[in-house]
Each structure stands twice: as structure tokens, then as C-alpha cells.
Amino acid sequence: MHNKREVFNIHLLLIVTMRATISFLLMAFILVPVVSVATDSKNIETWENARYKQDAGTVGGASVSLSNDSSGDNIMMNIEDFPTIVETYTATWCENCVMVEQTRDQAIGNNSATIIHYHRHYYETEDPFGDNSTENRWELNYGTSSTNILGASRLAPTTVIDGERMHPGHRPKSNTLKNDFTTSISVGSTAPLYGNISLSFIKNNANGNVENSSLFSWSTSNLIFNCVDDCTNTVSTTAWLLFVEDVAYFPEGSNDLEYYHHVLHHVILLDGLDGSMEYTYPSTWDGDDMTAILIVDWLEEENEDNFFPGPSMILTIFCFLISSLVYSKNK
């Protein structure tokens, strides 16, 4: 009788231990993503989400020089070689912009980066650089988040890193503004993509009477969704061509900067992921330093038509099944 009771107690102890172990493993598995999110949130405190309620961003940065000495050029760039995309909303009268841009450049340091300055254009009386297309792109991508954070869809200075992380104004969220930028740049793009993009242009000699007329060709369809874990989602991409002047001299700017860098003059939403078009691009403010830059906006969304569970969900279901079987056998 005593031996039977000991065997029963041992058996009961094994059952309790097994259930506790399974419950612990199950809870640990479920809580791992929560812990990860909590850890990531410490970094997120140094910036704001640039795309309101969207898992989206911007990659690319393939560029060709449109100088008078060049009759054409082409470039193909793998995603591993993409620079950090830095977009800054600015104005020639914005004094805080000067400090913010200098601090941002210090944070970039030797990192590969494509810097693009969107100059205020709507209702603007001083700044001569922007146009409707540059304002439209900024508001399309960042207007909603900017309005929620700053109360307006476009305010200088505002900087966006990789189309994902917004740094509004000139006040730091951490101990210094440089640390804000450094942390944001170090995160890198979170685009779930792999592949490459290409850009080329040939000056149109047949239209010699048309200044800056060229044939532009682009390819971005080789950027493919890199499905690692959650393959129920889909990613859509959109290609843009930007025309940026390296340096423009404008001594009339009231922020006393005089030389304005990375001036975005015009933006084109390209028709399709691949294609060609003849286009007369804008002239520089001065000098001979216009560059065409190819960038790609990406957006990841849930595929509502795909109900097949991912690996994480399958493992969770498996743990529940094992727990249920153990319970039913010993009930």
C-alpha cells in the first residue's frame, strides 16, 4: 500500500512538472515578441514613426550625374549597397534648420547616405527652390504623421531617415540631437526586400534645341519580398525619380547660409516599376551639378486572402495540442 502511494505521488509529480514545463515554455514563447517590442521601444523613443500606422519606408539611392560633360550614364545597385536615405524639409529662412542639418551631417559621418532637401514652396515668398511636386511627395508620405506630431503637414526643420523614422523640430528626444540622429541612422532600413535597382540616361541629341532633354530608363522590379517568417504579408513598391542640385548659391536667404546643398528641384512618380521615358529635366539654379536619383517606396501589408498560419503560430498551436493531450491522458 505504501509503495503504491509512493508510485502514485511520483506519477502525480511527473504530471504536474510536465504541465508546468509546457506552460512555462508556452508562455516564454508567447512573451518573446512582447519583450522584443519592449526593447525596441527604447530606441523608438528617439524618433517618431514617419508613416502614420504603416509599415513602410524608402530605399534606393542609385544616382547618375546630369552634367553637361556627360552624354549618358548608367548604374546598377544591389540592396546591400544602398545608402541611407535622408530627407529633410527645410527653408532658406529657417535658422534652426542650419543647426539641425549640421548636427545631422555630423551624425552621418562616414556612413554612405543620400541627402535630399525639400524646400518649402506652397505659399512661399522667400525660398525659390521647391515646386509643387516636391511638396506633394512630402505630404503624401509624411504629411499625416507630421500633422499628428507638429500640427501641420510640413514644417521646417523635419528630417526622415530611410522613410521610416521622423525627427521633427530641433529639440532632442534623448540627451543630444546628434545622438537622436546617430541612433536612427544605425538602425538602418527595415525593408523586407532583396535584389537590385538600376538607372540610366542618354541625352537626346535629336532634340538639340531642347535643353536637358534625355531618355531615362529604370528598373526596380528586381526588388523582391524577402519572406523569412511571416509569409502571409505582401509588399508593394513604387519608384520615384528625383532631380537634386548639389549646391546652389542664394545669398538672399535670411538664415545666412548662402550655399544650399542637396536642393531637390523636382520629383516624378514613375509609371511602373520598370520603364523608359523621354523627359526634359529642370535646370540648376546655378552651376552644372544636377543629379538624378532613383528611390523606391515600399509598403508591407497583411494579405487578407492568405489564412495559412506562419511558423510562430504553428509552434504555438503545437504546444497547445501537447498540453491538451497530457491533460486528457491523466484526467
Of 71-75, 198-202, 303-307, the one with minimum mean pLDDT is: 303-307
Gyration radius of the chain's alpha carbons? 27
> Cell 534648420 belongs to which residue?
97
Of 2-6, 80-84, 192-196, the one with minimum mean pLDDT is: 2-6
Structure confidence at residue 36 (pLDDT): 37
Comparing 174 with 15, the larger pLDDT belongs to: 174
pLDDT confidence tier of residue 117, bands split at 50, 70 and 90: very high
> Contact 119/134 with Cβ under 8 angstroms?
yes
| Grid cell listed for 26 | 508556452
List the strands of the sheet with 233-249, edge to edge: 48-49, 165-168, 158-161, 84-90, 113-119, 259-269, 233-249, 290-302, 55-65
- The percent of residues in the chain predicted with pLDDT above 70, rounded, is 76
Instruction: Taking residues 231-256, report their average pLDDT.
Output: 96
Task: Give me the sign of the Cα torsion angle 181, 183, 186, 189.
Answer: negative
pLDDT confidence tier of residue 35, bands split at 50, 70 and 90: very low
- Residue range 131-140, pLDDT digits in tens: 999 999 999 9
- Residue range 182-235, pLDDT digits in tens: 999 999 999 999 999 999 999 987 555 567 899 999 999 999 999 876 678 899
Structure confidence at residue 97 (pLDDT): 98
Helices (H) and strands (E) in the chain, counts: 5, 15
- Residue range 291-304, pLDDT digits in tens: 999 999 999 998 76
> Contact 281/242 with Cβ under 8 angstroms?
no
- Can you name the residues that pair with 23 across neighbouring β-strands? none
